[in-house]
Amino acid sequence: MARPTGEKLIVDNRRARHEYHLGDRYEAGLVLTGTEVKSLRGGQAQLRQAYAEVRDGEAWLVGLHVPEYTEGNRSNHDPDRPRKLLMHRREIDRLGSSVREKGFTVVPTRLYFKDGRVKVELALARGKELRDKRRDIAERDARRQIDRELKSLRG
């Protein structure tokens, strides 16, 4: 049987782009149980409160909510358990030192299937201040207004 290829988005953390200045991005695998994968295939997950941390030389994704699989039995998974991230040692060390020394946070930006496996895209992030958020909103609104004007002139 051929394995599926390509990427299929499960969930996108659009809130992270609003709350943080996003920097370097990393791709990591996740250690999951069977019922978690089945639940994710249904497109159900929440990244809103999730973040990654380095503990004892291992990377963990904390706060990812994967709802229980409805057809699962009593050995169903815990929806909010911390999940181990599969990354290269150098990447884990780089993330850990950035968080400790430079005050970054590691936030997940996307959760997706790649070649049949669940992957998470992590970004080194620094929190935005309120005025930065307001400036981003004003720029986005101005861009929309300009596009509207251009469209009305063409049409």
- Domain ranges across the chain: 7-128
Task: Note the helical H segments in the chain.
Answer: 14-19, 34-41, 89-102, 130-154
With residue 90 as reference, give the H or E element that holds it. Answer: helix 89-102
DSSP state of 84: E
Q: pTM to 2 decimals?
A: 0.77
Q: What is the pLDDT of residues 39-89, one digit of tens each?
A: 888 888 888 888 899 989 899 999 988 888 777 667 777 788 899 999 999
What's the pLDDT band for 30 if we cut at 50, 70, 90? very high
Amino acid 86: pLDDT: 94
Residue 151 pLDDT more than 60? yes
What's the pLDDT band for 2 if we cut at 50, 70, 90? low
What's the pLDDT band for 13 if we cut at 50, 70, 90? confident
For residues 61 and 55, give the distance between their C-alpha atoms in angstroms, rounded to a whole number: 11
Class of domain 7-128 (CATH, top level)? mainly beta
